[in-house]
Every structure is written in structure tokens, then in C-alpha cells.
Amino acid sequence: MLNLNSDIPIQKIQAPEIDLKGIELYLRREDLNHPLVSGNKLRKLKYNLEEAKNQNKDTLLTFGGAFSNHILATAAAGKELGMKTIGVIRGEEMLPLNPTLTDSHSYGMHLAYLDRSSYRNKNEDSLIQSLRDKFGDFYLIPEGGTNALALPGVREIMDWEAGTYTHICCPVGTGGTLAGLISGAREGEQFLGFSALKNALSLEEDVRLLSAKEKGCWNINHEFHFGGYAKAPKTLLDFILDFEGKFSIPLEPIYTGKMMWGILDLISKDYFKVGSKILAIHTGGLQGRRGFDYLAKQVSK
């Protein structure tokens, strides 16, 4: 199996505006848990990879966009474990390949493409069968890596001393990370997810079904999506650069940047009570920063 860094640093985010509120804020650096398959993607893949081996599957197939962290993580995991990988990419092939797909291909991943209309049927049995007819047998990992086997891997992030934090925060895309975290919830812990998607109100139901936990210890905030998935206005990009300058911690604009902006904004508005001790989960995805640079260069040509 993949080698996981067991010594994950937890860094205190210390600033006058936080101290004045009587609050402590920490960031768990899951982005440092593996050199290539990092963050929540490693956690989600862990037991899926184990199950693939148990089923004697030597090929992994999964889905994602052209800048997907999950696609790259699956490709890197396959290379490290000596498994074939197939990435079914949303949209038409665009050459030259962007940095994410270039790296995925260099790790041995076969890239296949589906037009956006067909891609919407990625969970349909008929589409999956057509992929088996084309590529042969494979172990299927859903887009984003979120399924029942993803949860125990994410839950292992919770292996810290009980009662240490009052609030645990994470970004939310498919809901798998939040569902995994709350599946290991202990008394007194409150979980707050920050949606990276606009109008994604179905996320609550997705998380409830995945985790089998009703609301009470968890909630999802929908105020800090900055226009929707992969939307990153200049104000957000400037915030990320300022944060990195102050704390020497890199963020990315799709997930972690939005979460940290949201946490600091809620602190300023007294959302958290005095004495709260907040832990934010850095879910990695830093390779995604390259996509914004790449797209900017394409526009400028």
C-alpha cells in the first residue's frame, strides 16, 4: 500500500485579529501526507486501493475534469503500486496537454475522453459496461474518489486526542471528506464544511447518506464559493498570496483558499464563541494552482 507520512504537522495560525476574539486556530497539513498522492485524495484512495488488490484487479479506472486532483492522485498511486490506470476525462482532448494531464500521462495513465453530455451518465451501468467492453476488467473508483470505502481513510485523520478541538473545518466538493470526518465524531466536536460549489444544496443529503449521521454535530456553509467551482476572483487569489506570505502555508483557490477565507470571516463576525479551538484540514490539491497559471497563459496567446 501507499506509504503515508505519519508525522502530519499541525500549525497554529496566529494573528492579532484572531487573538482579539479569544480564539485559537490551527491548520492540519494533510497536504504533506505524501509527496505525490497528497491530502484527502490519499485518504480516499487508501482502502479503495486495498480492495482493488483484494479483488486481484490490476487496473484502476476513474473519472475527472482536465485539472482534477483526483485524476493525478490516482495516476500517481497506480504508478507507485504497479497498477494500470485509466482516466476518463470530461470534455474533448485539448493538445498540448495541461500540466495535470501531462503529469498523469507521465505516471502511465491512459487518458480517454467523453463529451460533456455523455459524461453526465458516468454513473450509469450502460456507460460503465461500454468502458469494460473497451478497456477490459478494471476496479472502478468514482469521480473525486468518494464512496463508502473512502470514509474510513478520511476518518483516520481524526486520530488525535479526544476533546482537543471544539470545531473541525474542511472544504467540501463531493462531501466525502466531511462525511468521513464526522463518521469519527466524538462528543463535543462540531464540524463545519465550506462548499466550493454554488447552489449545491444537495450536499447536505449526500453527506447524511454517506455518513449515516443527521445534522447536529455538523453543518455546511454555502457563503464562500466565490461564484462556483473553480471560480477564483482576484480578491481570493490576493488573499491566498497574503496568507502564504504571513504564515508560509500554501493554499489553492478551489478548496482550501475558500475555506480559510470563510473561517477568518466567520471569526471576525463572532460566529465562534470565545474560547473556541478550531482545527482546519488542509486537504492538499496544491497542484491545482498550476491550472490557473496555465489558463491565463492560454488566454494571453
Q: Output the pLDDT for position 164.
A: 87
Q: Is the pLDDT score of 5 beyond 80? A: no
Q: Output the pLDDT for position 300.
A: 44
In a domain, 241, yes or no: yes
In a domain, 178, yes or no: yes
How far apart are alpha carbons 181 and 184 in whole angstroms?
Answer: 6
Let me know whether 104 and 168 are in one domain. no
In tens, the pLDDT along 146-196 reads 999 999 999 999 887 666 899 999 999 999 999 999 988 888 899 999 999
Let me know whether 172 and 281 are in one domain. yes
Residue type, 184: G
Let me know whether 117 and 197 are in one domain. no
How far apart are alpha carbons 181 and 85 in whole angstroms?
Answer: 28
Residue pair 48/299 in contact (Cβ under 8 Å)? The answer is no
Q: Output the pLDDT for position 230.
A: 82
State mean pLDDT over 112-124.
96
Let me know whether 198 and 285 are in one domain. yes
Q: Output the pLDDT for position 293.
A: 64
Determine the 3-state secondary structure of 155 from DSSP.
helix
In tens, the pLDDT along 32-64 reads 999 888 899 999 999 999 999 999 999 999 999
Let me know whether 162 and 271 are in one domain. yes
In a domain, 2, yes or no: no
Q: Is the pLDDT score of 299 beyond 50? A: no
Q: What order do you get walking across the sheet with 139-141 strand by strand?
A: 110-114, 84-90, 59-64, 139-141
* Residue that finishes a domain, picked among 92, 117, 145: 145
How far apart are alpha carbons 120 and 147 in whole angstroms?
Answer: 18
Let me know whether 119 and 186 are in one domain. no
Let me know whether 259 and 117 are in one domain. no
C-alpha cell at 192: 463545519
Let me know whether 30 and 161 are in one domain. yes
Q: Output the pLDDT for position 203.
A: 94
In a domain, 3, yes or no: no
Which is more confident, 165 or 295?
165
Query: How does DSSP classify residue 199?
Result: T
Q: Is the pLDDT score of 292 beyond 70? A: no
Residues composing the chain: 301
Report the domain count for the chain. Answer: 2
Q: Output the pLDDT for position 225.
A: 97
How far apart are alpha carbons 55 and 51 in whole angstroms?
Answer: 6
Q: Is the pLDDT score of 214 beyond 90? A: no
Let me know whether 20 and 57 are in one domain. no
CATH number at residue 106: 3.40.50.1100
* Residue that finishes a domain, picked among 112, 145, 178: 145
- The winner for highest mean pLDDT among 187-191, 253-257, 293-297 is 253-257
In tens, the pLDDT along 97-109 reads 999 999 999 999 9
Q: Is the pLDDT score of 6 beyond 70? A: yes
User: Residue 188 phi/psi, 5° resolution?
Assistant: 90, -10
In a domain, 301, yes or no: no
Q: Output the pLDDT for position 262.
A: 98
Let me know whether 156 and 31 are in one domain. yes
In a domain, 287, yes or no: yes
Structural domain containing residue 16: 10-35+152-294
* Residue that finishes a domain, picked among 106, 129, 145: 145
How far apart are alpha carbons 169 and 263 in whole angstroms?
Answer: 8
State mean pLDDT over 201-226.
91
In a domain, 139, yes or no: yes
State mean pLDDT over 231-254.
95
Which has the closest alpha carbon to 148: 51, 56, 36, 78?
51
Let me know whether 158 and 286 are in one domain. yes
How far apart are alpha carbons 22 and 34 in whole angstroms?
Answer: 34
Confidence of residue 291 (pLDDT cuts 50, 70, 90): low
In a domain, 81, yes or no: yes
Q: Are strands 24-29 and 10-12 parallel, antiparallel or unpaired?
A: antiparallel
Q: Is the pLDDT score of 301 beyond 90? A: no
56 backbone φψ class: left, alpha, beta (φ>0; ψ -120 to 50): left
Q: Output the pLDDT for position 226.
A: 96
Let me know whether 167 and 283 are in one domain. yes
Which has the closest alpha carbon to 44: 151, 128, 139, 159?
151
